[in-house]
Amino acid sequence: MEDPENDEKQPQTLNLEAGDYWWCTCGSSEALPFCDGSHKGTGLGPLKFTLEKGKSIIFDGQHRKSPSFSDSSPSQP
């Protein structure tokens, strides 16, 4: 398995709807942080994650073999 590219991209916050998403693990996608198929031939593949409800997510911009994001939704008391 190859190591992911690490372009030191800036963090980004995205408002996502509920559903399935494919997170780019290789760092080569033109649609970062999501997969666009650019991983072909790298030995890496996308990682699926599912949101049960829409929320704001912070992607830290680093590419690893596991997701690097956090929920930026307001905390519930």
Single-letter code of the amino acid located at 52: E
In terms of pLDDT, which residue wins out, 16 or 74?
16
Q: What is the mean pLDDT of residues 8-36?
A: 87
Q: What is the rounded distance in angstroms from the CA atom of residue 38 to the CA atom of residue 55?
A: 27
Tell me whether residue 31 is in a domain. Answer: yes
Tell me whether residue 40 is in a domain. Answer: yes
Q: What is the rounded distance in angstroms from the CA atom of residue 28 to the CA atom of residue 1?
A: 15
Cβ atoms 29, 23 nearer than 8 A: no
Please write the tens of the pLDDT for every residue from 37-64: 998 888 888 989 999 999 998 887 665 5
Number of domains in the chain: 1
Tell me whether residue 70 is in a domain. Answer: no
Tell me whether residue 6 is in a domain. Answer: no
Angle, CA of 66, 23 and 31, to the nearest 5° = 140
Tell me whether residue 5 is in a domain. Answer: no
Tell me whether residue 39 is in a domain. Answer: yes
Tell me whether residue 42 is in a domain. Answer: yes
pLDDT of residue 72: 60
**pTM of the predicted structure, to 2 decimals:** 0.71
- Tell me the residue range of the domain where 26 lies: 15-51
Q: What is the CATH number of the domain that holds 21?
A: 3.40.5.90
